[in-house]
Chains A and B, each alone.
Chain A
Amino acid sequence: MRLAMLAGLLIVTIIAGCTDKIAQDDVPETEIEQPEDRSAETSQTDTSEIENIINKQMLSEEEYVEIGEMI
């Protein structure tokens, strides 16, 4: 009985190990390069955020204060 339990445990451990290995092997190349891509993405986000901050602090000549029409 004990032997059967130990054998079962061993089989489960081997299967888990294999699954993990297969999962690691399946990681696509593009995902391994993710840190580099994310950095470029972050840089783009930062630039967009900066443009947004600048835009909010600058004034446009076309802009005016709307109070409605008289007729």
Chain B
Amino acid sequence: MKKCMKKGIFLIVLLLLAINIAIAQEDAQEDAIEQVSVMGTVEGATVRLLQLQSSIDRNILKGTTVIAEITNSNRDLNISGMEELLAELTVLSNQISEMLNSDIAVTKATEEFVMIKQEATGLSQEFKKLARSMVSGEEQERLRNRNETSQELDTLKEEIRQRIMAHNALQVQNFLDKMDLENESLVGLVGSGQMNLGQAVSSIANAYKGLGQSKKTEALVKMKENKAKAQVFKETIRQNTENNADEMSIRAQERKETAKDWLEEVKQKVMTKAGTQGRLNAQGNQNSNVSNALDNSKMQRGQK
């Protein structure tokens, strides 16, 4: 009787866990879908992909610090699972770099954005779970609050900022065209970052208010067409990326294999390098060296 009850409780816990994971994945997908409405243009798609890459690279950097902290505290803990997860995140970041350097269609790039975001969220969750099982609550808090940055991340942040300004300037020009108006000064101010988003929106709204009734109607129709197109684009992406468990499973398998091969390659390089410095020393610091090499390798690839 007790065994039966234990089995029952175990099954219920498993079921609740599965439901929880399913809800988290659905939330991640829904969140990603909400962010794709600006990805209908090359500029918008580029910004979102760079933002996703920046988040992934920041997590790789944080993950490397976490692994270094664990290995530095001389604990005999197995961190290979965490390194594999970092390697998988690196594979995702590299996929984004490849996309940005190719002539991929906007729709395909957006679908990839949704899937990579889901994958990166899942990998980060898995890493967090492993890290929390190895690091005390106090240490977790300290590591969480530690500000991680690097020259590469700062460069990426600046590139995103520049591209956001360029995207917004194009949008302002686009809205002015719909109202049959010209205002190079407004476009210039938004493009150079001298005018913020709120001010830009107010300026366009005021320009609209100043139009005659027939122009207003015409502009409103054109803008509503824009809105409808964005909605259709979003729905297309939603349909193409939902219920794709099989595809996600294949992608995960391929990613794991690429990450494993790459991790092996990095470890070999570390071992070879360490061989010249002394085998014993290399054995002692093998784990942290692999993590650092992994991070450095990522950052070199990430430079654009």
Contact of A47 among B48, B171, B200, B208 (CB under 8 A): B208
Chain B residues, CB < 8 A from A63: 51
Within 8 A of B (CB), among A5-56: 43, 46-47, 49-51, 53-56
- Find out whether the CB atom of B143 lies under 8 angstroms from the CB atom of A61: no
Chain B residues, CB < 8 A from A68: 59, 121, 124-125, 128
Chain B residues, CB < 8 A from A60: 164, 197
Using CB atoms, name the residue of chain A closest to B164. Answer: A59
- Find out whether the CB atom of A67 lies under 8 angstroms from the CB atom of B117: yes
- Find out whether the CB atom of B208 lies under 8 angstroms from the CB atom of A70: no
- Find out whether the CB atom of A66 lies under 8 angstroms from the CB atom of B227: no
- Find out whether the CB atom of B38 lies under 8 angstroms from the CB atom of A57: yes
Q: Assuming A65-B52, A68-B125, is B168 touching A50 (CB within 8 A)?
A: no
Using CB atoms, name the residue of chain B closest to A44. Answer: B209
- Find out whether the CB atom of A54 lies under 8 angstroms from the CB atom of B204: yes
* B161 interfacial contact with A, CB 8 Å: yes
Q: Assuming A70-B62, A71-B62, A71-B135, is B55 touching A51 (CB within 8 A)?
A: no
- Find out whether the CB atom of B197 lies under 8 angstroms from the CB atom of A66: no
Using CB atoms, name the residue of chain B closest to A68. Answer: B124
Contact of B37 among A46, A47, A57, A69 (CB under 8 A): A57
Counting contact residues on chain B (CB < 8 A from A), the size range is: 35 or more
Chain B residues, CB < 8 A from A3: none
- Find out whether the CB atom of B35 lies under 8 angstroms from the CB atom of A65: yes
- Find out whether the CB atom of A71 lies under 8 angstroms from the CB atom of B55: no
Q: Assuming A46-B220, A50-B208, A56-B227, is B124 touching A65 (CB within 8 A)?
A: no
Within 8 A of A (CB), among B218-232: 219-220, 223-224, 226-227, 230
Q: Assuming A66-B55, A67-B117, is B226 touching A53 (CB within 8 A)?
A: yes
* B17 interfacial contact with A, CB 8 Å: no
Within 8 A of A (CB), among B102-140: 117, 120-121, 124-125, 127-128, 131-132, 135, 140
* B54 interfacial contact with A, CB 8 Å: yes
Cβ of A57 to closest chain B Cβ, rounded Å: 5
- Find out whether the CB atom of A59 lies under 8 angstroms from the CB atom of B204: no
Binding site for A on B (CB under 8 A): 31, 35, 37-38, 44, 47-48, 51-52, 54-56, 59, 62-63, 66, 117, 120-121, 124-125, 127-128, 131-132, 135, 140, 143-144, 161, 164, 167-168, 171, 174-175, 197, 200-201, 204-205, 208-209, 216, 219-220, 223-224, 226-227, 230
Q: List 13 A-B contacts (CB under 8 A).
A: A46-B216, A54-B200, A54-B204, A56-B227, A57-B226, A58-B201, A59-B44, A67-B117, A70-B63, A71-B62, A71-B66, A71-B132, A71-B143
